[in-house]
Amino acid sequence: MAVKTKSVYFCSNCGYESPKFLGRCPSCGEWNTMQEEKVSAKSSKSKGRGGLVKSSKPIRISEIETLDEPRIPLPSKELNRVLGGGLVNGSLTLIGGEPGIGKSTLLLQNILSIRNRTILYVSGEESATQLKLRADRLGKVSDNTFILCETSLEGIFTQIENVNPDLVVIDSIQTIASADIESAAGSVSQVRECAASLLRYSKESGVPVILVGHINKDGAIAGPKVLEHIVDTVLQFEGDRQYLYRIIRAIKNRFGSTNEIGIYEMVEKGLKEVKNPSEMLLSENRDEEMSGITIGVTTEGARPFLVEIQALVSSAAYGTPQRSVTGFDQRRLNMLLAVLEKRARFRLAQKDVFLNVAGGLKIADPAMDLAVVAAIMSSNFDVSIPRTTAFIGEVGLSGEIRTVTRIDQRVAEAQKLGFTRVFVPKGNLKGVKSTFGIDIVEVGKVEECFRRLFE
């Protein structure tokens, strides 16, 4: 007997289900997010799920016993830092990133280095031969790692019962499909139900599960937004494929902080940890002084590091001045140029301004404003700034240098790398007990900074 199917509309943003098309989702309020999918009438009626908690009896919060969550440390220290110390038993972790950025390589080289646990790596995109070739390229082979090339959710759970692993990796969640749902793999309903089933398995068995997720053209993880709500941790693996460096950051973490990042360098044998990102992001020819180059101190989460800012100011060749930016906010650059024009009386309206953040990094930290304006004026006057000078500070619309956060950590990072002079906002170090062996110049206005810099 043929299984009856019907059309159901799902919201791609929140997963709301509707029997008819709606222009606006009643749940999240987003427009034009309803997508039609074919589902079986049988599966739509039998959606009852067993509860994760055996007893549904409510108890007082004071009677709940709290225990320290045991963690599984991973071989990569950078990944451990982002996770908060390692994987928590029974946790569900989602790693998202662009195609070819290195998600599978990162996971494979980590699990192949774990010798004392049984690991099941489920691949829905690559064959076993491809994974073996990658493992050989990484130079790591482990007898405790089992490879399963499967896209059926029921088949995966069958092999999980046979192997009884201590860690499960699903690469990727968009390729897994359940036979109970009459829709293609990667659809809203399939991603939601497969993730929910893996969540139940993880919580009931205590086995941590890592999911690999694709991202869409907007940079968000593909599938319903409810996928990010289901999992315990969401990690974003990002970077420009034209550069060798990759950054992994936590967008959501129920077991740790979201203020940590990990930095890797893509080499021939996989991903190599970058222990000192400041040395990575600074050019090697620090002895050669050139105009238009300054060093700013930024932070990614709780981690400070130094970044090289490059600026080029020239006369507009075609009458209309250009504003070209790489790695910095275009609108913020326009604002800083307007401040220099209005408050500091520098004529830049008829000049081309090109700005670049070295290393392919994208900076959104306001504390880099002072380094940007210093680089622009250095190029405008064609006067070089000593490479042992660093800049920290946010520039306001009235030309004042505003205070920034984590100033003590930023100054300490500059001192550690051998810098002898640092410009900081006036009064920003008030109350900081640390003493620094570096010349600290406090400035309150943009004009004051230029007088102290070019005197």
pLDDT at residue number 52 = 39
Mean pLDDT over the full length of the chain: 85
CA distances from 383 to 75, 391, 423 (A): 47, 16, 17
Q: How many whole angstroms separate alpha carbon 309 and alpha carbon 5?
A: 59
In sequence order, what are the residues at sequence separation of 6 or more whose Cβ sits closer than 8 angstroms to the Cβ of residue 85? 71, 73, 256
Please, which residues bridge with residue 37 across strands?
A: 8
pLDDT at residue number 106 = 92
Burial call 98-118: b when 16+ CB within 10 Å, e when fewer:
eeebbbbbbbbbbbbebeeee
Q: Is residue 373 pLDDT above 90, yes or no?
A: yes
Q: How many whole angstroms separate alpha carbon 241 and alpha carbon 440?
A: 38
Per DSSP, helices labelled H in 58-187 are 77-83, 103-111, 128-138, 153-163
Secondary structure (DSSP) of 110-144: HHTT--SS-EEEEESSS-HHHHHHHHHHHT---TT
Per-residue pLDDT tens digits for 181-202: 877 888 888 888 899 999 999 9
In sequence order, what are the residues at sequence separation of 6 or more whose Cβ sits closer than 8 angstroms to the Cβ of residue 197? 153, 157, 178
Q: How many whole angstroms separate alpha carbon 112 and alpha carbon 85?
A: 19
Which residue is it, tokens 């995966």? 156
Average of per-residue pLDDT across 320-341? 92
Query: Is the four-CA dihedral 418, 422, 428, 429 of positive or negative sign?
Result: positive
pLDDT band with cut points at 50, 70 and 90 for residue 6: confident
Q: Is residue 404 pLDDT above 90, yes or no?
A: yes
pLDDT band with cut points at 50, 70 and 90 for residue 5: low
pLDDT band with cut points at 50, 70 and 90 for residue 19: confident
pLDDT band with cut points at 50, 70 and 90 for residue 33: confident
pLDDT at residue number 51 = 36
pLDDT at residue number 340 = 92
pLDDT at residue number 43 = 47
Per-residue pLDDT tens digits for 117-136: 999 999 998 999 999 998 88
pLDDT at residue number 316 = 81
CB 250, CB 80: distance < 8 Å = no
Of 11-15, 143-147, 206-210, the range with the lowest mean pLDDT is 11-15
CA distances from 55 to 52, 58, 64, 78, 275 (A): 9, 8, 14, 39, 47
Which residue is it, tokens 């740790």? 256
- What pTM, to 2 d.p., does this model score? 0.73
Residue 423 is which amino acid?
F
Q: Is residue 254 pLDDT above 70, yes or no?
A: yes
Q: Is residue 227 pLDDT above 70, yes or no?
A: yes
Greater confidence (348 vs 223) lies with 348
Per-residue pLDDT tens digits for 34-93: 888 766 555 444 444 433 334 457 888 888 777 666 788 899 988 998 998 889 999 999
Rg (CA), the chain: 27
Q: What percent of the chain has pLDDT over 70?
A: 89
